[in-house]
């Protein structure tokens, strides 16, 4: 019962090694008596996990799926079944976990942009088309961060997918 490292990490949920399922269950599910309370606790738990774990997102399962979970594992009050309840809930969460856009592109843009900005600024003095922009008037301490922010924003923009409106 006292999973110090946390069972969530054991079941392959990255980034939650320090989060203890016992603490989560104590915080959200200990006082659950009715389905309405379970549903509210489940929504609060998903919100907490989504905010705590960058890179991964848990989508809300259908209402029928949550109701089925409550009826099959949570309706009884036997304390021995707590471990089984936790494992069942983790399996439900795993089914509805999705990874957000890969951050490697953003990281690469952040690594490559500063040297590229310096090269552009230095080489731009010899290229007539770029020299018209007068980049040599902009100080390096301003030019490099601005170029880096633009590169990271562009990489993030290319990764974001349009949301379905249907």
Instruction: Report residue 20's pLDDT band, with 50, 70 and 90 as the boundaries.
Output: low
Please tell me the distance from the alpha carbon of residue 146 to that of residue 144, in angstroms, as a whole number.
6
Please say whether the beta carbons of 104 and 21 come within 8 A: no
Instruction: Report residue 18's pLDDT band, with 50, 70 and 90 as the boundaries.
Output: very low
**For range 119-145, the mean pLDDT:** 88
Q: Is the pTM of this model over 0.75?
A: no
Decide if pLDDT at 144 tops 90: yes
Tens of pLDDT along 88-107?
Answer: 777 777 777 766 555 678 88
């Amino acid at each position: 019962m006292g999973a110090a490292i946390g069972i969530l990490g054991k079941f392959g949920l990255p980034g939650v090694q320090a989060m203890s399922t016992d603490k989560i269950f104590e915080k959200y599910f200990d006082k659950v008596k009715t389905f309405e309370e379970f549903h509210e606790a489940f929504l609060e738990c998903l919100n907490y996990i989504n905010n705590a774990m960058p890179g991964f997102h848990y989508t809300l399962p259908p209402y029928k799926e949550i109701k089925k979970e409550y009826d099959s594992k949570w309706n009884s009050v036997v304390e021995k079944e707590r471990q089984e309840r936790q494992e069942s809930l983790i399996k439900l969460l795993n089914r509805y976990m999705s990874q957000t856009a890969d951050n490697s592109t953003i990281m690469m843009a952040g690594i490559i942009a500063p040297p590229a900005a310096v090269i552009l600024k230095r080489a731009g003095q010899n290229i007539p088309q770029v020299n018209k922009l007068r980049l040599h008037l902009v100080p390096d301490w301003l030019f490099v961060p601005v170029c880096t922010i633009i590169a990271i924003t562009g990489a993030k923009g290319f990764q974001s997918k349009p949301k379905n409106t249907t």
